[in-house]
Amino acid sequence: MTGEEVAFVGLGAMGFGMATNLVEHGFNVTGFDVYAPNLERFVAGGGKSSTTPREAVESAKYVVFMVATAAQILSAMFDEETGAIWAIPRDTVVLLCSTGPPEHAPNVRRLLDGKYQRGDVQLVDAPVSGGTIRAAAGTLTILASGPEMAVRNARPVLDAMAGEKLYLIPGGLGAGTKVKMVHQVLAGVHITMTSEAMGFAAALGLNTSQAFEHLRKSEADSWMFDNRVPHMLERDPTVYSALNIITKDIGIVTADGRAEKFPLFMASATEQVLAAGVRAAIGLEDDSNLIKVYLPKSPDLVFQQGSAAVTTTADDPKLKLVAQAMAAVHLAAAAEAMMLGAKVGLDTKQLQEIIATAAGTSWMFVDRTPQMVSGKWQTRRTVEDVISELSEAIEAASRMKYPLHLAGTALQLFHLAAWRGLGSESDVAICRVWDGADGPVFPRES
Amino acid sequence: MTGEEVAFVGLGAMGFGMATNLVEHGFNVTGFDVYAPNLERFVAGGGKSSTTPREAVESAKYVVFMVATAAQILSAMFDEETGAIWAIPRDTVVLLCSTGPPEHAPNVRRLLDGKYQRGDVQLVDAPVSGGTIRAAAGTLTILASGPEMAVRNARPVLDAMAGEKLYLIPGGLGAGTKVKMVHQVLAGVHITMTSEAMGFAAALGLNTSQAFEHLRKSEADSWMFDNRVPHMLERDPTVYSALNIITKDIGIVTADGRAEKFPLFMASATEQVLAAGVRAAIGLEDDSNLIKVYLPKSPDLVFQQGSAAVTTTADDPKLKLVAQAMAAVHLAAAAEAMMLGAKVGLDTKQLQEIIATAAGTSWMFVDRTPQMVSGKWQTRRTVEDVISELSEAIEAASRMKYPLHLAGTALQLFHLAAWRGLGSESDVAICRVWDGADGPVFPRES
């Protein structure tokens, strides 16, 4: 219906799906990618091609950037020869959809207003989440922020890419990226915990297919767990999301933690495991291959045990160990993420609602974070209970010399909470570990 | 001179040196080991052999247990057929020199007094430290505890094994093991940090031989670093201390942390890296091979860069990154260890003095822990300073995707201290992270 001109820069796994979806919505899309086969594939899918970002934007009403890093956006936007800036029409709406650091979109705004004197270009911070399938279906989660008019003018494209999953984030340009950043704490921890947990299940001798089916129906579940484990069980060679991507995203999180001098134990432990994965040369593989860091001598064990001649029932005590480790890690990560969100000034209630239905969600997140935000602690399981359960899991792993990087870190956080006198409180009290000199972030209501 | 009868159970790397040293001191030593070649070697060295612990102790005035685990002591002592208990003479002095959990010696005491009705057997808890060379030289660090009379009666053997490095630990049977356990927090962190740091130096492209020489003369130094790095630089295949040993010891530490519900972030992160090493099948190798966990695709890089055609000066900015990471990790570990010592009821001043001259020492430990114990914080470097320095190191590692498991954990602890309002305090304030519900462990004096 629209026929409006869109320039789309970055036709990788996600970008290709997003751009093609815009074509299907009737936009007239000119694509650009540094990798020629991506461009050819896009033309075959009904798009037009261009040789530079500068050429791509010539008649664009909207420009979407969906490249890998903030540095690539700067290059595509401002390169002295090929940059979009030299051809971008007046009042064009630019959507920054890549995940960068929170200061990225404001930086681009400053460059447009200052050095390039293009105050007319309308900029929207619009990081996305959801994977390739939802990218192609136009049902991505998009976290849009920026000046009201710019966001309103971007709506036709945002609506086509996100459908009902479009969130408008208050707080100005960059606020959407802050939400994405907090979301990525959970995405990173959950992706890593998926490997930690499934490797643990395999090392414990469980039937991993059956273990997966039970775990995903329990409070150990996370969206990433549901999504990634089938890749392991089927030994699927497809790269749905390369390990390098989540490694980059978690790097943004910990860099922000350093900038804010804010403790991020779970994100930091996750970053080190991911770095170990990149060092083990699996950066370009699907992130479900992180299992190779946990089982370096038997990387196929999760696959092999998927058809093991053992039955793993829902009440198998060994399965319980895995579930306990997962639930505790997810709870600690949920607390850490919400505390970071509060620290960077986000509306924590909206943050909670967005993450609860996005790829960073988990059973624990959905159940516990509303209690954190409201201060109404209702869960009866106590910090001490979590310590007992998690200790059981860690003792079993210790006997096998199986590394539980994340569960080990989580246990110390629960220990710290107990040591500070919160042992007999609801496990939601784990959020109190992040209490600063100014007192609790979320005061308790009884 | 003595001619007194000693039974020595456990003639492994350490035990062989200790037993042979007792022979040289004039004791009449009957050895036992499950591994025949060890026994033959001992006979060649002037000892006598036996076929069971029961036979070994038949005429013993002293019995020394230097096996690998507490479970092995229980078996050697109480096995229904071959146990020493069935032949041990009246009033014999039994020295438990293996490193077990703190409750081990009291457990053995209860079994002797109760089930076996051998209240006459005199038991001394006497864990040792110092390595094979000092074992053979009779200059081990020994941490003896137990009833005054038992310790006094054990002195001839203790003195022969330790010389001036014999420490009498107040607090009854098991207190010596508690000191050893706290010591092993530092031993474990420092061994692991040695690999983390040297792998980092190699990945940064430094000349590792020169880097080592500079680092050991700086505040980054630790006893373990001095001792282990030459194994890497010379690619020495000798197993001085197997990775499995420190893995077992750190497992005792974290088990105690779980029993006490006490947060041990550094020890826990260390345990996971060590477990990753065992999973990578290097458990039986010298613990300096932990470098393989950090550089899985280039395990010889530290060796290769030892003769690299680059000069690394003492003020090389990259070397500074390594030094900063080491110093911060050693400081965090020193605080964690001292806090654990206080938690288990040790005399922290004596603990500080013992560790300062033992294998668990570091430049940071020697300099900072007296300030922690006295509460007189004199170091001018602040928590914020450490955060800045450590952040530089972590950012460099993050760019290279080099995992800094321990430095990453340490940074979060310093962040937590700053977040709690201690940012502009002396870096000694890191000990305040372990403040419990009852307030500071070591109150500050100004």
DSSP string, A232-286: HHTT----SSBHHHHHHHHHHHHHHHHHHT---HHHHHHHHHHHHHHHTT-TTSB
- The total number of structural domains that make up chain A: 2
**Residue A207: predicted pLDDT:** 98
State how far the Cα of A34 lies from the Cα of A42, in Å rounded to an integer: 13
In a domain, A361, yes or no: yes
> What distance in Å separates residue A298's CA from the closest CA in chain B?
9
The residue out of B128, B155, B173 marking a domain boundary is B173
In a domain, A416, yes or no: yes
**Residue A446: predicted pLDDT:** 63
Q: How far is residue B224 CA from its own chain's centroid?
A: 9
Residues of B within 8 A of A398 (CB-CB) are 251, 254-255, 271, 275
In a domain, A445, yes or no: no
Is there a contact between A395 and B423 if contact means CB atoms under 8 Å apart? no
In a domain, B446, yes or no: no
Mean pLDDT of the B238-248 span: 93
Kindly give, in sequence order, each residue whose CB lies less than 8 Å from that of residue B29, ignoring residues fewer than 6 positions away: B6, B7, B8, B19, B22, B23, B47, B48
**Residue B444: predicted pLDDT:** 84
- CATH of residue B152: 3.40.50.720
In a domain, B442, yes or no: no
Q: Chain A: residue nearest B343 by CA?
A: A419
Is there a contact between A272 and B403 if contact means CB atoms under 8 Å apart? yes
The residue out of A120, A154, A173 marking a domain boundary is A173
**Residue A440: predicted pLDDT:** 86
Question: Are A190 and A93 within one domain?
Answer: no
B 278-297: CB under 8 A from A: 278-281, 283, 293-297
Is there a contact between A247 and B401 if contact means CB atoms under 8 Å apart? yes
> What distance in Å separates residue B45's CA from the closest CA in chain A?
36
Question: Are B366 and B391 within one domain?
Answer: yes
**Residue B199: predicted pLDDT:** 98
Mean pLDDT of the A167-172 span: 95
Smallest CA-to-CA distance from A160 within A14, A16, A23, A11 is with A23
Q: Chain A: residue nearest B437 by CA?
A: A420
In this predicted structure, the answer to whether residue B363 has a pLDDT above a threshold of 90 is yes
**Residue B442: predicted pLDDT:** 87
Question: Are B129 and B242 within one domain?
Answer: no
In a domain, A442, yes or no: no
Is there a contact between B415 and A283 if contact means CB atoms under 8 Å apart? no
The residue out of B142, B157, B173 marking a domain boundary is B173
Kindly report the backbone phi and psi dihedral angles of residue A62, in degrees, each rounded to the nearest multiple of 5, phi listed first. -130, 140
Question: Are A213 and A167 within one domain?
Answer: no
Question: Are B114 and B186 within one domain?
Answer: no
Residue A393 near chain B (CB below 8 Å): no
The answer, yes or no, to whether ipTM is higher than 0.85 is: yes
Question: Are A169 and A276 within one domain?
Answer: no
Is there a contact between A281 and B272 if contact means CB atoms under 8 Å apart? no
In a domain, B245, yes or no: yes
In this predicted structure, the answer to whether residue B160 has a pLDDT above a threshold of 60 is yes
Are B62 and B31 a contacting pair, CB within 8 Å? no
Q: What confidence tens digit (pLDDT) does each residue in A132-153 have?
A: 899 999 999 999 999 999 999 9
- CATH of residue A280: 1.10.1040.10
A 253-272: CB under 8 A from B: 254-255, 257-258, 261-265, 268-269, 271-272
Best of B204, B274, B415 to substitute, by most chain A Cβ atoms within 10 angstroms, is B415
- Positions of B annotated as catalytic residues are 180
In this predicted structure, the answer to whether residue B1 has a pLDDT above a threshold of 60 is no
Q: What confidence tens digit (pLDDT) does each residue in B304-360 have?
A: 999 999 999 999 999 999 999 999 999 999 999 999 999 999 999 999 999 998 899
Is residue A355 packed enough to be buried (19+ CB in 10 Å), middle (13-18) or exposed (0-12)? buried
Q: What confidence tens digit (pLDDT) does each residue in A364-413 have?
A: 999 999 999 999 999 999 999 999 999 999 999 999 999 999 999 999 99
Question: Are A146 and A196 within one domain?
Answer: no
Q: What confidence tens digit (pLDDT) does each residue in B47-59 have?
A: 999 999 999 999 9
Q: Chain B: residue nearest A275 by CA?
A: B401
Mean pLDDT of the A94-122 span: 96
Torsion sign, CA atoms A400, A404, A408, A410: negative
State how far the Cα of A140 lies from the Cα of A358, in Å rounded to an integer: 9
Question: Are B200 and B216 within one domain?
Answer: yes
Q: How far is residue A200 CA from its own chain's centroid?
A: 23
State how far the Cα of B406 lies from the Cα of B72, in Å rounded to an integer: 32
- Beta bridge mates, A340: none
Are B125 and B105 a contacting pair, CB within 8 Å? yes
State how far the Cα of A277 lies from the Cα of A243, in Å rounded to an integer: 8
Is there a contact between A421 and B404 if contact means CB atoms under 8 Å apart? no
Q: Which amino acid is at A425?
A: E
Of B251, B296, B387, the CB nearest to A296: B296
Is there a contact between B401 and A275 if contact means CB atoms under 8 Å apart? yes
Question: Are A292 and A149 within one domain?
Answer: no
Confidence of residue B421 (pLDDT cuts 50, 70, 90): very high
B 42-81: CB under 8 A from A: none
**Residue B213: predicted pLDDT:** 98
- Take residue A401 and report the two structure tokens written for it: 């010399």
Question: Are A105 and A207 within one domain?
Answer: no
State how far the Cα of B256 lies from the Cα of B390, in Å rounded to an integer: 29
Question: Are A118 and A228 within one domain?
Answer: no
Residue range of the domain that includes A167:
5-173
Question: Are B162 and B184 within one domain?
Answer: no
In a domain, A75, yes or no: yes
> What distance in Å separates residue B118's CA from the closest CA in chain A?
33
What share of chain B has pLDDT > 70, as a percent?
A: 100
